[in-house]
Amino acid sequence: MGVTVEAGQVKQGTPMCVPSKNFVDIGIVTSIEINHKQVDVAKKGQEVCVKIEPIPGESPKMYGRHFEATDILVSKISRQSIDALKDWFRDEMQKSDWQLIVELKKVFEII
């Protein structure tokens, strides 16, 4: 599926959800391509193709049925994932990435 990264970054293994559709979990990013070349990360402003596979044990969420082209997909974060960012990826994070995390904490009501 083609997407534009509007803020932050997307990495393989990122769980994705659609807040406007009752936070429906659509799956996990398993690959990212830019111009038909596989990459590990996509950053703000890049147009990429992502492959999202269902979360193991859950039924697949279908484009056009569970979410639309106009829906915004976001990384599903938790207190544990934020702590992992701080512990393991702090040097890869920009100030704008941390600002996005603060915004997402409000969306997901994480204290």
Query: Are 41 and 10 in contact, with CB atoms under 8 Å apart?
Result: yes
3-state DSSP assignment of residue 77: coil
Per-residue pLDDT of the chain (111 residues), as tens digits, is: 899 999 999 999 999 999 999 999 999 999 999 999 999 999 999 999 999 999 999 989 988 889 999 999 999 999 999 999 999 999 999 999 999 999 999 999 998
CATH number for the domain formed by residue range(s) 2-76: 2.40.30.10
3-state DSSP assignment of residue 33: strand
CA–centroid distance for 28 within its chain = 8
Report the pLDDT value the prediction gives residue 75, as an integer from 0 to 100: 96
- pTM attached to this predicted model: 0.89
